[in-house]
Structure 1
Amino acid sequence: MHRDGIASVGAPGDDQVPVIADKPPARRRRKDGEARREAILDAGLEIFSGLGLHGASLDRLAERAGLSKANLLYYFPSKEDLYLAVLRRVLDVWLDPLQELDADSDPAEAIRAYIRAKLTLSRDAPQASRLFCLEIVQGAPLLRAELEGPLRGLVESKAAILRGWIDQGRIGAHDPHHLIFSIWAITQHYADFAVQVDAVTGRSLDESDFFESTVASTQALILTGLGLR
């Protein structure tokens, strides 16, 4: 039988030995902890992208995450730690499509796919782009090391692929860094300046036809500049 969380061992009528019930498995506790951490990061993205680091308060962040402030601080010892963790996750998400650029790919198909992936992120994760933009505009005081390390390394590796395509005559001769920057500027414009896009056109990427026309137009612009159809 079970009584107040204690299990009894033995046949009915026998002297039964109480055994303390097992605690929740470590895997479940770990899963719950990961879920709380993700909830805090999601709350951080929402609050920081609107208010910035200095405009956000721990009380507001904890409330949005559905946790107490003490619980939040258990996972992230300070507001700055949380902010940096959110920025690192944003950077991982926004750079992931660039990882797919492969030297063995067809240049036109690879660049076309990269542009679509970036515009998809602008549509589906605009807060991430806005927070990243806000940090960069402020001089990237907390993210500078990440930019000069992992980001620079990734960009250099992909610039080498683009140079290889140029040397092989597969795309037109353009500075690889400027090409990457141009794609970032065009695609992330639709997240960072969504209000301006809506004010001018009355449209947004949430409308499937406008999204597809934006993808097609951006692909044509970049590919034509590279001498590709």
Structure 2
Amino acid sequence: MAKASEAKGKTRIQIEKTEKILAAALDVFSTYGFRGSTIDQVAQKAGLSKPNLFYYYDSKDAIHAELIERLLYIWLDPLHQLNPEGEPIEEICSYVKRKLEMARDYPRESRLFANEILQGAPRINTLIAGPLKSLVDEKTTVIQSWIDADRIAETDPYHLLFSIWSTTQHYADFDSQVQTLLPSERIKNRFQDAAAHLDRMFRKSLSPH
């Protein structure tokens, strides 16, 4: 269990140290994965002694659990914003844009999540089977209602979401490959170009006529 992070009335220093530990852990976990990371690496990255780190968190699992909990709120927000009352294609393309912006702005969080999934999601399966699944079930029902009303083309709502995740998160999880393969003059604008490409692709595939 987290210690200082759960204590009421934390001091400014405690809050700063907690955030420093979490930021360091995010760097370490997103680079080496949970299994390949150690408390010593996190402490060194945070600029703290190991005993000092243990004052705030009593294990690697506790740090990781708090990171994942925070990540889930960030990760679910773009899908929460999908409005059932909106224009379907605009709503879906706006969701694609938000997910790509997350890949740009939160690459470490994306890699942390990807690492966990690749390991079989042993530490986050409850979160996936709970809040994430509930939200996905809710939004796929919305998408299916748009299909039934002939407001977007026939598609599989679940696989549509999976496709959006894979095409947008690619630019976080495989950014080094993207930068290597693109012509050098296009690297700087890679996210803008990706946004335009994905918008065209999803609009065309979702158009009902």
**What's the TM-score bracket when you normalise by the shorter of the two chains?**
0.7 to 0.9
CA deviation vs aligned residue, 1:143-191 (integer Å, no higher than 9, x gap): 1111111110111111111112112221112111000000000000111
Q: Which has the larger radius of gyration?
A: 1
Report the equivalent of 1:183. 164
Alpha carbons of structure 1 residues 97 and 68: separation in structure 2 relative to 1, 3 Å: same
Aligned counterparts of 1:32 and 1:112: Cα–Cα separation in 2: 42
Q: Give the TM-score normalised by the residue count of structure 1.
A: 0.81
Report the equivalent of 1:42. 23
Report the equivalent of 1:33. 14
Contact 2:140–2:158 under 8 Å retained in 1: yes
Contact 2:89–2:206 under 8 Å retained in 1: no
Alpha carbons of structure 1 residues 204 and 40: separation in structure 2 relative to 1, 3 Å: farther
Contact 1:172–1:227 under 8 Å retained in 2: yes
Report the equivalent of 1:3. none
Contact 1:102–1:110 under 8 Å retained in 2: yes
Using the TM superposition, give the Cα deviation of residue 203 of structure 1 relative to its aligned residue in structure 2, in angstroms.
5.5
RCO (CA 8 Å, sep 6+): is it higher in 1 or 2?
2
2:193 to 189, 213, 225: 213
Q: How does 1:154-169 map to 2 (within 5 A)?
A: 154-169=135-150
Aligned counterparts of 1:80 and 1:110: Cα–Cα separation in 2: 37
2:57 to 63, 72, 76: 76
Contact 1:122–1:191 under 8 Å retained in 2: yes
Alpha carbons of structure 1 residues 206 and 107: separation in structure 2 relative to 1, 3 Å: farther
Aligned counterparts of 1:84 and 1:30: Cα–Cα separation in 2: 22
Any gaps of 5 or more consecutive residues in structure 2? 1-7
Report the equivalent of 1:97. 78
Aligned counterparts of 2:186 and 2:56: Cα–Cα separation in 1: 35
Structure with a larger share of its residues in helix:
2
SS at match of 1:217: helix
Structure with a larger share of its residues in strand:
1
- State yes or no: 1:223 paired with 2:203: yes
Backbone CA RMSD of aligned residues: 2.1
- State yes or no: 1:63 paired with 2:80: no
Using the TM superposition, give the Cα deviation of residue 31 of structure 1 relative to its aligned residue in structure 2, in angstroms.
3.9
Report the equivalent of 1:121. 102
* Aligned AA (1:139): G
Structure 1: 4+ residue segments shifted above 4 A: 203-206
* Aligned AA (1:67): L
Alpha carbons of structure 1 residues 203 and 95: separation in structure 2 relative to 1, 3 Å: farther
Aligned counterparts of 1:172 and 1:35: Cα–Cα separation in 2: 50
